[in-house]
């Protein structure tokens, strides 16, 4: 215990770090504390900052207002619950929205409402907390309150508990799930599920309410909450999926498979909310999996058969969502992966999206690799003449068809700390060629224009302006020319509203006579 465990009000300290509170631990020197921490399996301290108009500024380097001082009296620019050196708070990625996309609730800088950032500090190499520093509370409407819990250490690691062997299909729940109680800390529960030969099964979580914070990454064995290890006999390979707050998804490919599901619990504290645990189904599915969610960067996945399930990497969350200090995250943020889908001869590929969330840059008219785009081609390879389209949330389709028995998908994006979508989940099938004339996309077209930016016409080349409602502004691809030059008048409508269109004129740009068609 120490002398600063009670809540303390802080007002009148505007300059960065001008409020200083040294922490004195009872009956222990700094050397004693570090020796205790180094001999322990895990140590923790709960820390809270309640704020009204008082910011941290971790994300706005170098404009820090508040921080804490740890081992060897080094300043620490992250807060309880967050990953070490992440310049974040434990609320990430669910923090209160701020004007500057911060990852702390207090950086909302609301001078009328009290907000809070709190959580556990778990990195033993930075503990104990020796000093608290706060600023940005000099205005009469600004204030803060700090709370620091005692240093708590644990000598032993996780306790392993085997939950039994089950034959699929089966429903699994965590201990205490039915009464809404989360399992105790530092336990590892493992379920083993057998999938027989010739059966295709999927692992889904209808309820997934587990506990994981970025700070857990500093604790041995706590980087993942749920681990799925699937050993497929025919494939002679092991599929390994590790997840934190996003549920894992696995679909077997039809061979005899053993699926081991492990839940790991870690540090807990009365002030830190817990979840309910999870409910999982291992259930039959029409199509087998083709490594869904395992599309590694710069990789290529080949899928064959009458039907199959695919998904973007770590769907429904981007990779390293909770590992923001990873070298991969900052140095290799550009991502692309290719899927090649083969169905039997005399069929075409039908690709049906069950979920698709690839956001475009706000205000953008087109899908780009900067924000995320899924390019779809009607043969193997990425030849321009085989391009069906490039899709994001601006022009997403429910069903896409190829013109051959092969379809190629290329997903390109850039991972960011905030702003990425869920990615996509889709089922491909081999089907007879549709009777309608228009292949590439389903004949049941959605209103792709609704909700898009107001001005829809631009190639950005300074010469021609093309009609780009479908997201494609390539003249060579056959899109319609709206005007002869960018500076000329062209069609414009507020697409955030609904309109009743009584007619429009359509001109053929390739017709020598420039025939006009009037539709009513």
Per-residue pLDDT, 436: 55
Ranges of beta strands (E only) in 265-363 are 277-284, 288-289, 299-304, 307-311, 334-342, 348-357
- Point out the least confidently predicted range of 315-319, 373-377, 406-410: 315-319
Ranges of beta strands (E only) in 53-186 are 67-69, 75-76, 115-121, 131-134, 143-148, 152-154, 159-167, 170-173
Task: Find residue 399's DSSP bridge partners.
Answer: 352
Rounded to the nearest 10 degrees, how much is the dihedral formed by the CA atoms of 28, 32, 37, 41? -100
Does residue 2 form part of some domain? no
* Residue 112 and residue 100 in one domain: yes
Reference 404, options 438, 442, 377; nearest CA is 377
For a pLDDT cut of 90, what percent of the chain falls above it? Answer: 52
Does residue 3 form part of some domain? no
**Domain containing 129 — which CATH number?**
2.60.120
Statement: residue 299 has pLDDT above 50? yes
Containing structural domain, residue 184: 157-285
Inter-CA distances, 122 with 31, 51, 80, 273, 283, Å = 19, 23, 8, 16, 38
Statement: residue 279 has pLDDT above 60? yes
Does residue 481 form part of some domain? yes
How confident is the model over 60-107, as pLDDT tens digits?
A: 767 788 999 999 999 999 999 999 988 889 887 677 877 766 788 998
d(CA 186, CA 188): 7
Statement: residue 471 has pLDDT above 70? no
* Residue 29 and residue 149 in one domain: yes
Does residue 295 form part of some domain? yes
Does residue 54 form part of some domain? yes
Residue 278 contacts residue 174 (beta carbons within 8 Å)? yes
Among candidate residues 96, 128, 154, the one where a domain is terminated: 154
Q: What is the pTM of this model?
A: 0.74
* Residue 325 and residue 417 in one domain: yes
Statement: residue 1 has pLDDT above 80? yes
* Residue 386 and residue 398 in one domain: yes
* Residue 383 and residue 467 in one domain: no
d(CA 149, CA 19): 19
Domain count across the chain: 4
Does residue 1 form part of some domain? no
Q: Residue 2 carries which DSSP code?
A: B
**Domain containing 501 — which CATH number?**
2.60.120.260
Task: Find residue 239's DSSP bridge partners.
Answer: 230
d(CA 121, CA 47): 7
Per-residue pLDDT, 440: 53
pLDDT band at 272; cut points 50, 70, 90 = confident
Among candidate residues 103, 125, 154, the one where a domain is terminated: 154
* Residue 144 and residue 166 in one domain: no
- Residue with token string 């299909």: 169
* Residue 271 and residue 175 in one domain: yes
Among candidate residues 132, 154, 176, the one where a domain is terminated: 154
How confident is the model over 284-295, as pLDDT tens digits?
A: 998 989 888 887
* Residue 260 and residue 323 in one domain: no
**Domain containing 386 — which CATH number?**
2.60.120.290
* Residue 136 and residue 13 in one domain: yes
């Amino acid at each position: 215990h120490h002398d600063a465990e009670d809540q303390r009000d802080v007002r009148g300290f505007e300059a960065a770090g001008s409020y200083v509170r040294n922490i004195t631990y009872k009956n222990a020197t700094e050397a004693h504390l570090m020796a205790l921490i180094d001999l322990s399996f895990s140590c923790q301290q709960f820390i809270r900052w309640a704020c009204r108009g008082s910011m941290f500024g971790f994300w706005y380097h170098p404009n820090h207002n508040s921080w804490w001082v740890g081992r060897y009296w080094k300043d620490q620019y992250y807060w309880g619950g967050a990953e070490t050196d992440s310049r974040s708070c434990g609320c990430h990625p669910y923090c209160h929205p701020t004007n500057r996309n911060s990852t702390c609730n207090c950086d909302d800088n609301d001078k009328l409402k009290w907000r809070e950032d709190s959580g556990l500090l778990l990195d033993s190499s930075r503990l104990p907390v020796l000093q608290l520093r706060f600023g940005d509370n000099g205005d009469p409407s600004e204030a803060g309150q700090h709370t620091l819990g005692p240093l708590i250490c644990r000598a032993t690691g996780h306790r392993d508990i085997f939950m039994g062997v089950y034959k699929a299909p089966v429903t699994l729940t965590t201990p205490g799930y039915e009464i809404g109680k989360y399992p105790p800390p530092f336990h590892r529960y493992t379920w083993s599920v057998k999938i027989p030969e010739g059966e295709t099964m999927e692992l889904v979580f209808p309820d997934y309410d587990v506990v994981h914070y970025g700070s857990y990454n500093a604790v041995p064995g706590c980087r993942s909450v749920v681990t799925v290890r699937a050993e497929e006999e025919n494939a002679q390979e092991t599929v390994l999926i590790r997840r934190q707050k996003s549920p894992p998804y696995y679909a077997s490919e039809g061979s005899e498979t053993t699926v081991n599901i492990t839940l790991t619990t870690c540090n807990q504290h009365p002030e830190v909310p817990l979840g309910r645990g999870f409910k999982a189904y291992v259930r039959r599915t029409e199509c087998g999996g083709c490594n869904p969610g395992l599309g590694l960067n710069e990789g290529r996945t080949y899928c064959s058969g009458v039907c199959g399930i695919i998904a973007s990497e770590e769907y429904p969350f981007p990779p390293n969502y909770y590992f923001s200090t990873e070298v991969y995250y900052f140095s290799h943020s550009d991502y692309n992966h290719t899927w090649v889908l083969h169905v039997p001869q005399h069929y075409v590929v039908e690709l049906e999206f069950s979920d698709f969330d690839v956001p475009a840059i706000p205000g953008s008219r087109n899908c780009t690799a900067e924000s995320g785009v899924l390019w779809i081609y009607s043969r193997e390879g990425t030849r321009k003449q085989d391009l069906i389209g490039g899709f994001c949330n601006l022009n997403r389709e429910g069903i896409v068809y190829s013109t051959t028995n092969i379809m190629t998908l290329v997903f390109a994006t850039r991972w960011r700390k905030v702003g990425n979508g869920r990615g996509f989940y889709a089922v491909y099938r081999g089907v007879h060629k549709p009777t309608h004339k228009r292949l590439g996309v389903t004949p049941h077209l959605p209103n792709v224009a609704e909700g898009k930016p107001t001005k829809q016409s631009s190639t950005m080349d300074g010469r021609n302006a093309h009609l780009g409602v479908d997201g494609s502004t390539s003249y060579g691809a056959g899109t319609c020319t709206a005007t002869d030059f960018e500076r000329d008048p062209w069609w414009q409508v507020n697409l955030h509203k609904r309109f009743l269109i009584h007619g429009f004129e359509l001109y053929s740009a390739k017709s020598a006579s420039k025939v006009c068609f009037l539709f009513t």
